[in-house]
């Protein structure tokens, strides 16, 4: 692997995180490496600042969600405008207690093409968007594990003994399903909507019409349910028999707690 700076001048946490779980993991690791870590939140399109020019003296901690075993395509679209110059990076992907499948391998290949050098990676369990799965995760124990992982990375940086990790996954992941926009779409109770516009402001994919907050563009919505979480009146919801039946079965299917996985 190319030479890596023993003590990076700047550490960045760069993430797409509609529900906050990918943000949590990336930030915990970045801040453990450097309490002055710089945050670059790429979640909401119309809030994105211009991307910095990353150098070999920087270290970037990426964070992205897993959709059906691959990195969510919207996160990759955000990352695609970034450019590194043999910039070392740590990859984190967050999965909802099922499996991360090819996501780390896919993200590693993707950022390498942008000029970044993966030196470590983690697949982190986060509360699933659907149902009642992995509630409260990442929890304090998860965050402590992330800090311990960051400490290992710091030690390897100091020793100069870093190498490209071997991430699990099928090299033909491009042919596998996953990474799409999700299945379910939130509903709006027009009687409860107070036209505050918060749902449209917070939508990662600008799928909610500013002229009609009750309308959600099916082809843009990524089923993250961020609008449900931020709605102050409960107007946005998933209160349908079909979804409730699915969520109950999905919760039972993924009830067994999964562990975080770390790679150096």
pLDDT, residue 162, reads 79
pLDDT at 48: 67
Which pLDDT does position 172 carry in this prediction? 95
Report pLDDT for 247. Answer: 96
Q: Residue 95 — left, alpha, or beta (φ > 0 → left; ψ -120 to 50 → alpha)?
A: beta
**pLDDT per 10-residue tile (average), the chain, 264 residues:** 68 97 98 96 81 92 97 96 96 97 98 97 97 97 98 92 89 92 93 96 94 92 96 96 96 97 97
pTM: 0.95
Q: For the stretch 86-114, what's the b/e string if a residue is b when 16 or more beta carbons lie within 10 angstroms of its beta carbon?
A: ebbbbbbbbbbbbbbbbbbbbbbbbbeee
Which two structure tokens, joined as six digits, stand for 45? Answer: 């399109």
What pLDDT, on the 0 to 100 scale, is given for residue 178?
Answer: 92
In this predicted structure, what is the pLDDT of residue 4?
57
For 82, residues 6+ apart whose C-beta sits below 8 A from its C-beta are 14, 51, 54, 114, 116
């Amino acid at each position: 692997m190319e030479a890596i700076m023993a003590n990076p001048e700047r550490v960045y946490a760069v993430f797409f995180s509609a529900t906050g779980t990918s943000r949590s993991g990336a930030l915990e690791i970045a801040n453990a490496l450097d309490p002055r870590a710089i945050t670059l939140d790429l979640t909401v399109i119309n809030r994105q600042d211009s991307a910095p020019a990353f150098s070999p003296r920087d270290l970037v901690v990426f964070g992205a969600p897993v959709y059906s075993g691959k990195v969510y395509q919207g996160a990759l679209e955000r990352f695609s405008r970034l450019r590194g110059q043999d910039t070392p990076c740590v990859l984190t992907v967050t999965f909802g207690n099922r499996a991360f499948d090819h996501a780390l391998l896919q993200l590693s290949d993707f950022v390498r093409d942008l000029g970044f050098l993966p030196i470590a990676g983690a697949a982190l369990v986060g509360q699933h968007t659907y149902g009642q799965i992995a509630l409260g995760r990442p929890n304090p124990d998860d965050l402590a594990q992330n800090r311990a992982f960051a400490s290992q990375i710091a030690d390897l940086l100091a020793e100069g003994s870093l190498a490209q990790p071997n991430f699990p996954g099928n090299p033909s992941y491009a042919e596998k399903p996953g990474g799409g926009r999700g299945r379910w779409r939130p509903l709006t109770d027009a009687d409860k909507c107070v036209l505050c516009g918060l749902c449209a402001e917070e939508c990662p994919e600008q799928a909610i019409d500013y002229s009609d907050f009750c309308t959600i563009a099916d082809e843009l919505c990524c089923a993250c349910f961020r609008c449900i979480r931020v709605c102050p009146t409960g107007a946005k919801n998933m209160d349908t028999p079909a979804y409730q039946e699915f969520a109950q079965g999905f919760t039972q299917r993924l009830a067994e707690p999964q562990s975080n996985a770390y790679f150096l």
